[in-house]
Amino acid sequence: MSNNSFTDLLKEINTTKATIAAYSPSTKEDIQLAPLTLQQQKSIIESSVDSTLASLFFNNTFFKILKQNLGGDISRFDTVDRVNFALQLRSQLSDSYEKNDTTISVNDILAKNRTIAYTPTEKQIVMDNYTFTVRTPNLVIDDKVNVVLLNKYKNETLNGNKLKTLISDLFVHEILKFIPKLKVNDKEILLHTDLQAAANLLENIDSIKFVQITDYINTIRDTERSFATIPGTDTIIDIIPEFFIV
Amino acid sequence: MISNHLNYNINGKQLKIREISFTEYKNLCKKLFTDDVNELQAVFNEILSSTVIGPTLNCVEKFYCLLLIRNLLYGNEFAFQYNGINTTMDLKTILNAFKFTVNDVVVTDKNVEYHFNIPDNLYNPTIDRVIADSLKKVVVPTKEIECSTFSYEEKLTVINNSNIPLQDTFNRLQNQFRQLNIPFIKDIEIDIITGTLLGFLKRVFNDNIGAIYNFEYVCIRSLNFGANDFDKYTLPELKIFLNSLKSEQSKSNNGQDS
């Protein structure tokens, strides 16, 4: 074992670390974000498993990183913020990114993103005797739902019926992320307190009642994509593990 | 146990290298029955720690040292098949082609400079571990910290806490270390990162275990050796003994004939 110089060096590295300013579209403020460590870069790359659950693994890993690097209450931020935070963390590693043989400046995308108007709003969707309260999921609820699915499927071999169940579960849980409250007649149910029970409940509702909700979800996912769009083009950057290989 | 050490100067480092005994050689050949690079690394580290006295070595110096040990055992010739053709090469050619130094790779993150050079391990399983193993010095605004006394795990902790780009740093190291590649034959080179050092060492040290047991049997029969005797002699010494015995017997046979 070496001496104090190892501890000194670790201390030095951690104190000389400067946080970076990242823009949160939902709160319209600049927040302080610690840059990605080499270990975090490695964990992102390792989350790139070739499976149907790849995006869940990646989002789960990225959530853990944001929790470490943001500090404070991470539930203040939503999945649209996540796109901007990912771009900011990537730009710290290198501003340039190759997409379709073109070199793109990630900072140009970040600058463009400050001009996008995005205000997260809660909305009521009424379908017969059901009133759904919908809003963009915050990062905590997004992760909790992802974890439910990961725990259910991570050790499964996905073929045949299992794959069908997964697809159906992905659909239900995606909807669940966006619905914090449901009112049936006069009874209000908070869906994000017991996720498993909430998923079971949603499964028993006629899917026709979710049409407007899926439209709403698509609008939010489009907004997320607009934050990942290269300025002046329709080209979208995929925020996937490979994006962080620098 | 053999106690005779030979003096060598490898890249300015004074080393004493002990020849390996027949028993050590036989055990080595048994242990080489694996393709697991981690096991191979452990086998060669064991040889180094039991035979070499001197300062800490990086992977290039270790490789050089092991080839010297190999040549003490078998001589300089190495026979192998290349494209189906039996070929023999003089391993001195390889030893003469060694380069021991490259400039530092310096990766800067804000106010911190990370200096990298030749790694210590003959193989590192992941790219972050290659980076950690190559870490030599960190320069922070107030001081320079030498990392040569750090353990492997400590270096890894330093690297894991840094904000340097993983892939780019590895690519820069790989490019730099390419200068150290050792030409082997035609288009084949031995590089220091991908595990080819271990693969090559396995090839040059490996011997037919059946032939080794036969040789041991002949020694027991002809030289009246017991098990402990094989700890005291090297393979070349035993070969000399057997040759002397043969020549003695042939002289004696010639005497009887005349």
Residues ≥6 apart with Cβ < 8 Å to A113: A23, A25, A84, A87, A227
Contact B149 A2 (CB under 8 A): yes
Residues in chain A with CB shorter than 8 Å from the CB of B162 are 13, 37-38
- A114 lies in the same domain as A15: yes
At residue A165, the pLDDT reads: 86
Structural domain boundaries, residue A235: 4-118+224-244
pLDDT (tens digit, 9 = 90+) per residue, B56-109?
Answer: 999 999 999 999 999 998 888 888 887 788 888 888 989 998 999 999 999 998
Structure tokens at B206: 């490996």
* Dist CA B131 CA B117 (whole Å): 9
Amino acid residing at A234 = D
Is a pLDDT exceeding 90 seen at residue A14? Answer: no
CB under 8 Å, gap of 24 or more: what pairs does A61-64 form? A62/A86, A63/A139, A63/A142, A63/A143, A63/A146
- A42/B166 CB distance under 8 A: yes
b/e sequence B98-135, b meaning 16+ C-beta within 10 Å: eeeebeebebebeebbbbbbbbbbbbbeebbbbbbbbb
Residues of B in contact with A8 (CB under 8 A): 145
Which pLDDT band holds residue A2 (cuts at 50, 70, 90)?
low
Give the closest of A2, A13, A14 to B150, CB-based: A2
At B227, is the pLDDT very low, low, confident or very high (cuts 50, 70, 90)? Answer: confident
- For A23-36, the pLDDT digits (tens) are 999 999 999 999 99
Q: How far apart are CA B107 and CA B150, in angstroms?
A: 19
**Are A208 and A105 in the same domain?**
no
Name residue B96's beta-bridge partners.
none
> How do residues A56-92 score in pLDDT, each as one tens digit?
999 999 999 999 999 889 999 999 999 999 999 999 9
Instruction: Give the DSSP per-residue string, B143-168.
Output: EEEE-TTS-HHHHHHHHHHS---HHH
Which residue type is seen at B8? Y
A160-to-A51, A66, A164 alpha-carbon distances in Å? 15, 35, 7
Work out the average pLDDT over A165-180.
93
B258: pLDDT strictly greater than 70? no
Report pLDDT for A1. 45
CB contact at 8 A, B66 and B58? no
Which class for B245: exposed (0-12), middle (13-18), buried (19 or more C-beta within 10 A)?
middle
Q: Same structural domain for residues A94 and A160?
A: no
pLDDT digits (tens, 9 = 90+) for B22-65: 999 999 999 999 999 999 999 999 999 999 999 999 999 999 99
pLDDT of residue B1: 72
Reply yes or no on whether the pLDDT at A9 is more than 70.
yes
Task: Give the whole-angstrom CA distance, residue B61 versus residue B229.
Answer: 32
- Average pLDDT score over residue span A152-160: 78
Minimal-distance CA residue of chain A relative to B109: A17
Regarding whether A147 and A217 lie in a shared domain, the answer is yes
For chain B, what is the mean pLDDT?
Answer: 92
Q: Are residues A114 and A229 in the same domain?
A: yes
pLDDT of residue B84: 82
**Whether residues A235 and A215 fall in one domain:** no
Burial, A73: exposed, middle or buried (Cβ in 10 Å; 0-12, 13-18, 19+)?
exposed
B108 to chain A: closest CA residue: A93
pLDDT > 60? residue A144: yes
Question: What residues in chain B have their Cβ under 8 A from chain A's Cβ atoms?
Answer: 110-112, 126, 128, 131, 138, 140-143, 145-147, 149-151, 154, 157-169
| Torsion of Cα atoms, A29 then A34 then A39 then A44, to 10° | 10
Lowest mean pLDDT among A42-46, A51-55, A128-132, B110-114: A51-55
Q: If we measure between CA atoms, which residue out of A199, A93, A71 comes closest to residue A146?
A: A199
Indicate if A93 and A168 belong to the same structural domain: no
Task: Look at residue B19 and tell me whether its pLDDT is greater than 80.
Answer: yes
Mutate: best of B129, B148, B166, partner A, most A CBs <10 A: B166
- A134 & A89 share domain: no
**Chain B residues close to A38, C-beta within 8 Å:** 128, 131, 159-166, 169
pLDDT of residue A157: 76
A37 and B166: CB-CB below 8 Å?
no
Look at A12 and B145 and tell me if their CB atoms are within 8 Å.
Answer: yes
Confidence category of residue A192, pLDDT binned at 50, 70, 90: very high
- Our count of domains for chain A comes to 2
The reply to whether A14 and A112 lie within a common domain is yes
Angle formed at CA A32 by CA A28 and CA A37, multiple of 5 degrees: 130
Q: What letter would DSSP give residue A155?
A: T
B257 confidence band (pLDDT: 50, 70, 90) = low
Three-state DSSP class for residue A59: helix
Q: Are residues A218 and A229 in the same domain?
A: no
